[in-house]
Amino acid sequence: MTQNVLILPGDGIGPEIVTEAVKVLETAKQKFNLNIELDNALVGGAAYDEFGTPLPEVTMQKAEKADAILLGAVGGPKWDELDDRELRPEKGLLGLRSGLELFGNLRPAILYPQLADASSLKPEVVSGLDILIVRELTGGIYFGQPRGIRELENGERQGYNTYVYSESEIRRIAKVAFESAQKRGKKLCSVDKANVLEVTVLWREIMNEVAKDYPDVELSHMYVDNAAMQLVRAPKQFDVMVTGNMFGDILSDAAAMLTGSIGMLPSASLDKNNKGMYEPCHGSAPDIAGQGIANPLATILSAAMMLRYSLNESAAADAIEQAVSNVLDQGLRTADIYSDGMKKVSTAEMGEAVVAALANA
Ligand SMILES: NC(=O)c1ccc[n+]([C@@H]2O[C@H](COP(=O)([O-])OP(=O)(O)OC[C@H]3O[C@@H](n4cnc5c(N)ncnc54)[C@H](O)[C@@H]3O)[C@@H](O)[C@H]2O)c1
Ligand SMILES: CC(C)[C@H](C(=O)O)[C@@H](O)C(=O)O
Ligand SMILES: [Mg+2]
């Protein structure tokens, strides 16, 4: 049966990095005889410019029908001044996540040994690093109601958001995290702010309750401020971390730098049936867009995750990850992961090198 993959390039460096990931997917398709069909649609600022909305109906319909989605990135200064916040590019991304109920966000931070020099930390602190951040993606303060900016009686304005999680929302992300930990090092650290926020007191309570169903997984709890510090001090103490939407957003960008660059961190956003959207953790990088220097590897690795989690093509996924390792062995580096003695390459050169390594594997 043909599996349909929707490609959403988005904005900024999005189209540049997605072009390379699509080349890699097309190569995998031929090499592994995959029965996949690729389609395209607009999201984010590109969709706003064309349709006046960051998530047009036609994109949502295609996304609903697709077996998996590969997205570049959305947003940029061009749209930051839009008065109606609902029309901003980021709303297109959030609309896809919540509309498709992609609550389980997996963000693996793995240090390729070849990039030990590029990591922000000393080699002995990061060598062998392999962490999985499980981020709740469709709830928490990102989606809680009420929200907005209101006028107070004294005439000044007040901005407000609401941080809420229901028991069922916590339970379902807990299950994703415990099951992930079972398949890995069997250690799960739940990150919260239960010393201050009631919503995370409940989070901690439910984590403890769900833990009873996974006696082989060792559960610990950590406050988010300490977790940020520990990620930078001694990241290898972690195996799987689970946390809410906003803390996960922040901690995953911090974890990215341990792997050498935000351009190395892929992600999967899954619903309860493992249908998913795959995207690099980074944004549209307006500061380097159009220069052909962005690192496409996080997007290429996201395509590998897509083959593994949603399309059941793990041999092709393994081969893409091996091809990425091979190009790093060859000394090829985009500017963000460059170090002395390596060969600096463009976005397209990096993509083509992965294609060649995959084709010759
Ligand atoms: N998933 C997404 O679509 C997503 C994620 C984060 C931010 N954004 C949006 O992107 C825009 C820019 O946000 P930002 O600047 O805070 O974050 P960003 O991740 O776009 O960029 C942060 C820094 O990392 C660098 N960088 C990011 N990706 C890179 C890559 N592949 N290769 C090399 N360097 C890379 C950028 O050049 C920049 O210096 C905003 O509109 C934001 O809302 C979108
Ligand atoms: C662009 C933005 C809405 C998004 C988020 O905050 O989730 C991004 O930072 C991410 O990490 O995917
Ligand atoms: Mg982010």
Q: What single letter denotes the amino acid at residue 326?
A: N
**Active-site annotation holds for 249:** yes
Q: Which residue has the tokens 């996201």?
A: 302
Two structure tokens written together for 283: 């944004």
**Active-site annotation holds for 142:** yes
Q: Which residue positions form the known binding site? A: 97, 107, 135, 225, 249, 253, 283-295
Nearest-CA residue for ligand 2 atom 6 is 249
**pLDDT tens digits, residue range 237-272?**
999 999 999 999 999 999 998 999 999 999 999 999
Q: Looking at the chain, how many residues does it have?
A: 361
Q: Which residue in the list 48, 112, 142, 338 is annotated as catalytic?
A: 142
**pLDDT tens digits, residue range 276-288?**
999 999 999 999 9
**pLDDT tens digits, residue range 56-76?**
999 999 999 999 999 999 999
Residue 99 pLDDT = 98
Number of domains the chain contains: 1
- Helix, strand, coil tally for the chain in percent (to 5): 45, 20, 35
Residue 300 pLDDT = 98
DSSP label of 176? H
CA-based max dimension of the chain: 70
Q: What is the 3-state secondary structure (H, E, C) of 284-319?
A: CCCCCCCCCCCCCHHHHHHHHHHHHHCCCCHHHHHH
Q: Is residue 8 part of a domain?
A: yes
Whether the pLDDT of residue 119 is over 90: the answer is no
Distance CA 262, CA 279 (A): 12
Whether the pLDDT of residue 361 is over 90: the answer is no
Ligand 2: centre distance to CA 1 (Å) = 33
User: Is-contact 9 46, C-beta < 8 A?
Assistant: yes
Torsion of CA 185, 212, 224, 159, to 10 degrees: 130
Q: Do β-strands 268-270 and 104-110 pair in parallel, antiparallel, or remain unpaired?
A: antiparallel
Residue 120 pLDDT = 85
User: Is-contact 330 353, C-beta < 8 A?
Assistant: yes
Whether the pLDDT of residue 221 is over 90: the answer is yes
Whether the pLDDT of residue 118 is over 90: the answer is no
Residue 173 pLDDT = 98
Q: Outline where 245-293 has alpha helix (H).
A: 245-258
Q: Which residue has the tokens 């980074």?
A: 282
Residue 162 pLDDT = 98
Q: Is the distance from the beta carbon of residue 137 to the nearest atom of ligand 1 less than 6 Å?
A: no
**pLDDT tens digits, residue range 318-354?**
999 999 999 999 999 999 999 999 999 999 999 999 9
Distance CA 110, CA 7 (A): 25
Nearest-CA residue for ligand 2 atom 5 is 249
Structural domain boundaries, residue 92: 1-103+295-361
Residues of the chain above pLDDT 70, percent: 100
Q: Is residue 98 part of a domain?
A: yes
- Neighbour-count burial of 360, counting CB atoms closer than 10 A to its CB (0-12 exposed, 13-18 middle, 19+ buried): exposed
- The CATH number assigned to the domain holding 60 equals 3.40.718.10
Distance CA 361, CA 353 (A): 12
Residue 204 pLDDT = 98
Q: Outline where the chain has alpha helix (H).
A: 14-31, 45-51, 57-65, 77-80, 89-99, 123-126, 167-183, 198-211, 224-233, 245-258, 297-309, 314-329, 347-359
Q: Is residue 77 part of a domain?
A: yes
Q: Which residue has the tokens 């159009």?
A: 290
Q: Is residue 240 part of a domain?
A: no
Whether the pLDDT of residue 309 is over 90: the answer is yes
Residue 64 pLDDT = 98
Q: Is residue 148 part of a domain?
A: no
Interhelix angle 14-31/314-329, nearest 10 degrees: 120
Residue 290 pLDDT = 97
Q: Is residue 202 part of a domain?
A: no
**Active-site annotation holds for 192:** no
Element (H, E) at 327: helix 314-329
Q: Is residue 140 part of a domain?
A: no
Distance CA 13, CA 75 (A): 10
Q: Which residue in the list 65, 225, 343, 344 is annotated as catalytic?
A: 225
Of residues 43, 39, 45, the one with CA closest to residue 9 = 43
Radius of gyration of the chain (CA): 20
Distance CA 252, CA 138 (A): 16
Q: Is residue 235 part of a domain?
A: no
Residues of the chain above pLDDT 90, percent: 97
For the residues 103-116, what does the mean pLDDT come to? 96
User: Is-contact 140 165, C-beta < 8 A?
Assistant: yes
SS3 (DSSP) at 175: helix
DSSP label of 250? H
Residue-averaged pLDDT of the chain:
97
Smallest-distance ligand from the CA of 105: 2
Element (H, E) at 28: helix 14-31
Q: Which residue positions form the known binding site for substrate? A: 97, 107, 135, 225
Of residues 171, 168, 142, 108, the one with CA closest to residue 245 = 142
Distance CA 204, CA 227 (A): 15
